[in-house]
Chains A and B, each alone.
Chain A
Amino acid sequence: MIEFERFELDNGLKVIFHKDSTTPMAVVNILYDVGARDESEEKTGFAHLFEHLMFGGSINIPDFDAPLQRAGGESNAFTSNDITNYYDVLPAQNLDTALWLESDRMLSLAFTDKSLEVQQQVVIEEFKQRYLNQPYGDVWLELRPLAYKKHPYKWATIGKDIKHIQDAKMEDVKAFFQKYYHPGNAILCVAGNFEFSFIKERVEYWFGSIPGKLKPARILPSEPIQKEFRKLTLERNVPANAFYYAFKMASRKTMEYYVADLISDAMGREKSSRLYIRLKKELNLVSEIGAYITGSLDDGLLMISGKLNDGVSFEQVDVEIWKIIDEFVSREMSVPELERLNIKIRTAREFQDQGLLNRAMNLCHFELLGDAGGINEDLMVYQSITPKHMSTLGKSIFKKKNCSVLRIKSTK
């Protein structure tokens, strides 16, 4: 059970306090409710570029990192298609430094031309390092627009094209800040060995005077129901043929999300999973095989992906994947198999919850979903899933016309 308390400032900032009396460290985590899905199609990669600029100095503080490091702490952030999350970890006695820094950059950024110019370069190098200069690195740049036709999940967080990052203008940056970076669009979690009254007072002190604004409305084009099987084969200079099956699945806030998560585990999480046993151990067709979900807030993807052994054709593996799927949906899973999936989830959760930062991030994440208390309930949701749920949802997900397949064919 992860205990927490909650309050909201007059300017709309939602605050969660999580007490842990065993740690000498403190975590300040801020989730801004903005991600790559909020970008316009002509200016992609912006949410992530903006995350970099958040470290380029704020209105009263020329450098974000140095004061935090001087306080013994460190900071980082990540951007996804859904959210942007910033965190600071520092010795508890210096908590005020993190609150000072975070509140100042929520108040306003310095917006220097130099910072924008350099971070454009840095992000372009990141684009190359992670997506363009790696074997199979561009898979998600290609797969997203295959699986999504309308919803902004059709572009990757890094952006559709390096050109969008090169073209970013200071006025775009400022407008983005005005719209998304304010108390009404943020969730703050402070975790550590503190008293609630102290946290309330310090958060009110640092964040209370930041002007409140209305939360921006999010009206995204919804993805039409897929009605046809999609297939794209790309030739690349890679050593092995690789395949990526993307099945549409439900959004984060649904029961189906949890069931789909368990289905992906059953299919390909571990070496005891169905795809691994059949395709790798019994038939020796693949070198790697796995299944997982993208975990996105709007309608997501259940993925099956792997690499072929030399001399094996895409068609051979395709036939076998659909056989395994057919078996999955036509016969109910045994209770021991379901229990095996659940104990893995429970064990992984126990380990994740050990980390103070993890707890703080998760509390913000669940608060965004509607209630931080969800952090203590989702294991029960997994445990309530029955074999019948699994095969019923499997039937609706694992349909050919709900599937997009990307194949990377080796030119060697």
Chain B
Amino acid sequence: MVDRSQTPELKQIDSIDFVAPEIRTEFPVPFFVQKQVPNATSRIELYFNAGSTNGKIGLASLVSGLLLSGTDKMNSTEIHTELDNLGGFHDISLGHESVVLSLYGLNDKLAELLVLFCQSISAVTFSESEIQELKEDRKQKLRINMQKVSFLAQREFSKNLFANSDYGRVINEDNYNSITRQEIIDFHKAFYLSGLFKVVLIGDFQEETIVSMEDMLIPFVNNLPLQYNKNLQNTPGSFHTEKEDALQTAIRVGRILFNRKKDDFVDVTILNTILGDYFGSRLMSNLREDKGFTYGVGSMLSEFHETGYFLIATEVGKEHKDAAIAEIRAEIEKLNQELIPADELDLVRNYLLGQLLKSADGPYAMTDLYVGVHAFGLDISFYDNYIKKIHEITPEKLQLLAKTYLDWGQMTIVSAG
């Protein structure tokens, strides 16, 4: 007879084997290579110092969208056709502090793909027609997004979270209209033609292929000092954006905090998980599983080079807006006032260790983990320490952290609906 009343015995994770990628010593900026890939897939990521805080509002976004828009020798369609002929996929991801160009393909095609990519990016001519087409696309997209409560809330949140800084700029249609071709050319020259500051290569490659890729990328290497904002401050208080006829209200609550360079980061990660970063979290249990206010609610810690922030996000039925904000506040205050029960903490410990094991599974995940700490001047020992801290954390320490960092009076609270 099967005894279903007892939980099967659990085995804890005590350590994880982290494998660091190789670092190319000859290359002038960090160039990571992970060759232990048991299949034919490969990926190269190029990090450019071309993030959205640079230049006029919307400029970085337009330039990133025009990188493959054509050269003297190939127009946009020819470039994309050739990328597709080689079976390549690409992604251009614009952040506040950088742009990441990712190129995916089978490993016997990646070097050819990179040649095409580099040629297209370095010789892009920025034709007026391509610029105009992208501006119109972006404006339409913006008009559509402005009808989403989640977008409106995020916009208002950004303004107040990154108050009075380039990080908190939000775009309007006029911003696109005002950007000139010359500004685009100048931005491209400054931040792409000499803006490459990191490369991550994953795939089963021979040395000569890697060297050929290094040769292709050398001309793009960054020659400007990398500067990042250290002093972001949020404006505490409540802000509302009205949207007629909305069925749901989007809510954002958060504040500027810090990144993993700060000692408290791992412990605050544990606190954040308990509050809102897994399915069984307090916010999910309360707002979704107990009250049915929402399809989902979550909290997260997001990091910049020199700072970071804490964020809670949800969409709730509009009739539940005030009750939902009150419950979010109550959950935060509960962390301030009451010790976390040992059983709950134990669950979250195991959960986090399991998730860390998963996020180190396979060459891609493992490399991303490594690159994720290297950016902050840390090494793989960060994760050994992470495991140690997860084992050592106490309810008393977590309450102290909640009192220090999760004070409702310090929060920026935004609603849109």
Mask, A267-285, CB within 8 Å of B = 1, is 0001110000100110010
Q: Is B374 an interface residue (CB 8 A)?
A: no
* A-chain residues with CB within 8 Å of residue B141 when the two chains form the complex: 287
Some 12 contacts from A to B, beta carbons below 8 A apart, are: A69-B350, A69-B354, A71-B10, A119-B292, A121-B291, A134-B147, A136-B144, A205-B2, A239-B143, A239-B144, A287-B141, A309-B140
Question: Once bound together, how far apart are the Cα atoms of A67 and B354, in whole Å?
Answer: 13
* A-chain residues with CB within 8 Å of residue B89 when the two chains form the complex: 344, 347-348, 351
CB pair A118 B292 closer than 8 Å: yes
Do A336 and B85 form a contact, CB below 8 Å, given A69-B280, A281-B76? yes
- 8 Å CB contacts to A: which residues of B66-80? 76-77, 80
Do A347 and B4 form a contact, CB below 8 Å, given A69-B278, A69-B351, A74-B278? no
A76 to chain B: closest residue by CB: B279
Q: Is B149 an interface residue (CB 8 A)?
A: yes
Question: Once bound together, how far apart are the Cα atoms of A323 and B347, in whole Å?
Answer: 61
* B-chain residues with CB within 8 Å of residue A339 when the two chains form the complex: 85
Mask, B133-167, CB within 8 Å of A = 1, is 10011001101101111000000000000000000
Q: Is B231 an interface residue (CB 8 A)?
A: no
* B-chain residues with CB within 8 Å of residue A346 when the two chains form the complex: 87, 106
Q: Is B81 an interface residue (CB 8 A)?
A: yes
CB pair B7 A309 closer than 8 Å: no
Question: Once bound together, how far apart are the Cα atoms of A130 and B149, in whole Å?
Answer: 12
Tier of interface size on chain B:
35 or more
Question: Once bound together, how far apart are the Cα atoms of A74 and B106, in whole Å?
Answer: 31
Contacting residue for A133 out of B4, B248, B354, B364, CB 8 A: B248
CB pair B294 A122 closer than 8 Å: yes
Question: Once bound together, how far apart are the Cα atoms of A71 and B133, in whole Å?
Answer: 52
- 8 Å CB contacts to B: which residues of A186-232? 205-206, 209
Mask, A62-94, CB within 8 Å of B = 1, is 010111011111111000000000000111011
* A-chain residues with CB within 8 Å of residue B368 when the two chains form the complex: none
B353 to chain A: closest residue by CB: A72
> Among the interface residues B106, B291, B361, which one has the most CB atoms of the partner chain A within 10 A?
B361
Q: Is B168 an interface residue (CB 8 A)?
A: no
CB pair B4 A309 closer than 8 Å: no
Chain A proximity of B88: nearest CB distance (Å): 7
Chain B proximity of A403: nearest CB distance (Å): 26
Question: Once bound together, how far apart are the Cα atoms of A187 and B77, in whole Å?
Answer: 44
Do A71 and B350 form a contact, CB below 8 Å, given A97-B8, A125-B294, A350-B41? yes
Chain A proximity of B365: nearest CB distance (Å): 10
Q: Is A310 an interface residue (CB 8 A)?
A: yes
CB pair A347 B278 closer than 8 Å: no
* B-chain residues with CB within 8 Å of residue A67 when the two chains form the complex: 7
How would you classify the secondary structure of chain A's contact residues: helix, strand, loop or mixed?
Answer: helix
Q: Is B247 an interface residue (CB 8 A)?
A: yes
> Among the interface residues A71, A309, A356, which one has the most CB atoms of the partner chain B within 10 A?
A71
Do A206 and B104 form a contact, CB below 8 Å, given A72-B357, A287-B140? no
Chain B proximity of A12: nearest CB distance (Å): 18
CB pair A122 B295 closer than 8 Å: yes
> Contacts A60-B4, A205-B2, A272-B83 given; 7 further ones with Cβ under 8 A?
A72-B350, A125-B248, A133-B315, A135-B147, A237-B245, A271-B77, A348-B89
CB pair B144 A117 closer than 8 Å: no
Question: Once bound together, how far apart are the Cα atoms of A185 and B16, in whole Å?
Answer: 38
* B-chain residues with CB within 8 Å of residue A317 when the two chains form the complex: none
* B-chain residues with CB within 8 Å of residue A126 when the two chains form the complex: 295
B141 to chain A: closest residue by CB: A287
- 8 Å CB contacts to B: which residues of A8-39? 22-25
CB pair B280 A66 closer than 8 Å: yes
Mask, A159-199, CB within 8 Å of B = 1, is 00000000000000000000000000000000000000000
Chain B proximity of A154: nearest CB distance (Å): 24
Do A240 and B144 form a contact, CB below 8 Å, given A72-B357, A125-B317? yes
* A-chain residues with CB within 8 Å of residue B290 when the two chains form the complex: 118
Question: Once bound together, how far apart are the Cα atoms of A6 and B355, in whole Å?
Answer: 29
* A-chain residues with CB within 8 Å of residue B357 when the two chains form the complex: 24-25, 72, 91
CB pair B347 A351 closer than 8 Å: no
Question: Once bound together, how far apart are the Cα atoms of A340 and B280, in whole Å?
Answer: 45
Do A340 and B248 form a contact, CB below 8 Å, given A96-B8, A125-B295, A129-B315? no
Q: Is B254 an interface residue (CB 8 A)?
A: no
Q: Is B370 an interface residue (CB 8 A)?
A: no
Q: Is A100 an interface residue (CB 8 A)?
A: yes
Q: Is B86 an interface residue (CB 8 A)?
A: yes
Question: Once bound together, how far apart are the Cα atoms of A271 and B77, in whole Å?
Answer: 7
Q: Is A3 an interface residue (CB 8 A)?
A: no
* A-chain residues with CB within 8 Å of residue B315 when the two chains form the complex: 125, 129, 133
* A-chain residues with CB within 8 Å of residue B143 when the two chains form the complex: 239-240
Q: Is B40 an interface residue (CB 8 A)?
A: yes
Chain A residues engaging chain B, CB cutoff 8 angstroms: 22-25, 59-61, 63, 65-67, 69-76, 89-91, 93-94, 96-97, 100, 103-104, 107, 117-126, 128-130, 132-136, 205-206, 209, 237-240, 270-272, 277, 280-281, 284, 287-288, 307, 309-310, 336, 339-340, 343-344, 346-348, 350-351, 353-354, 356
CB pair B86 A343 closer than 8 Å: yes
Q: Is B44 an interface residue (CB 8 A)?
A: no
Question: Once bound together, how far apart are the Cα atoms of A354 and B364, in whole Å?
Answer: 10
Chain A proximity of B362: nearest CB distance (Å): 7
Contacting residue for B289 out of A97, A118, A277, CB 8 A: A118
CB pair B347 A66 closer than 8 Å: yes
* A-chain residues with CB within 8 Å of residue B351 when the two chains form the complex: 69-70, 72-74
CB pair B147 A122 closer than 8 Å: no
CB pair B355 A347 closer than 8 Å: no
A67 to chain B: closest residue by CB: B7
Contacting residue for B347 out of A22, A69, A75, A272, CB 8 A: A69
Contacting residue for B85 out of A136, A238, A340, CB 8 A: A340
Question: Once bound together, how far apart are the Cα atoms of A174 and B167, in whole Å?
Answer: 52
Q: Is B206 an interface residue (CB 8 A)?
A: no
* A-chain residues with CB within 8 Å of residue B264 when the two chains form the complex: none
Q: Is B384 an interface residue (CB 8 A)?
A: no
* B-chain residues with CB within 8 Å of residue A351 when the two chains form the complex: 41, 89, 104
Mask, B328-359, CB within 8 Å of A = 1, is 00000000000000000011101101110110
Q: Is B218 an interface residue (CB 8 A)?
A: no
Contacting residue for A270 out of B84, B248, B289, B317, CB 8 A: B84
Question: Once bound together, how far apart are the Cα atoms of A5 and B289, in whole Å?
Answer: 38
CB pair A72 B354 closer than 8 Å: yes
Closest 9 A/B residue pairs (Cβ): A72-B354, A121-B292, A343-B87, A239-B143, A96-B8, A271-B80, A272-B81, A126-B295, A347-B87
* B-chain residues with CB within 8 Å of residue A206 when the two chains form the complex: 2
CB pair A271 B295 closer than 8 Å: no
Q: Is B5 an interface residue (CB 8 A)?
A: yes
CB pair B350 A70 closer than 8 Å: yes
Contacting residue for B84 out of A66, A104, A340, CB 8 A: A340
* A-chain residues with CB within 8 Å of residue B81 when the two chains form the complex: 272, 340
Question: Once bound together, how far apart are the Cα atoms of A89 and B361, in whole Å?
Answer: 12
Chain A proximity of B127: nearest CB distance (Å): 12
Contacting residue for B10 out of A22, A97, A132, CB 8 A: A97
Question: Once bound together, how far apart are the Cα atoms of A96 and B8, in whole Å?
Answer: 6
CB pair B140 A240 closer than 8 Å: yes
* A-chain residues with CB within 8 Å of residue B40 when the two chains form the complex: 350
Question: Once bound together, how far apart are the Cα atoms of A90 and B85, in whole Å?
Answer: 38
A75 to chain B: closest residue by CB: B279
CB pair B353 A65 closer than 8 Å: no
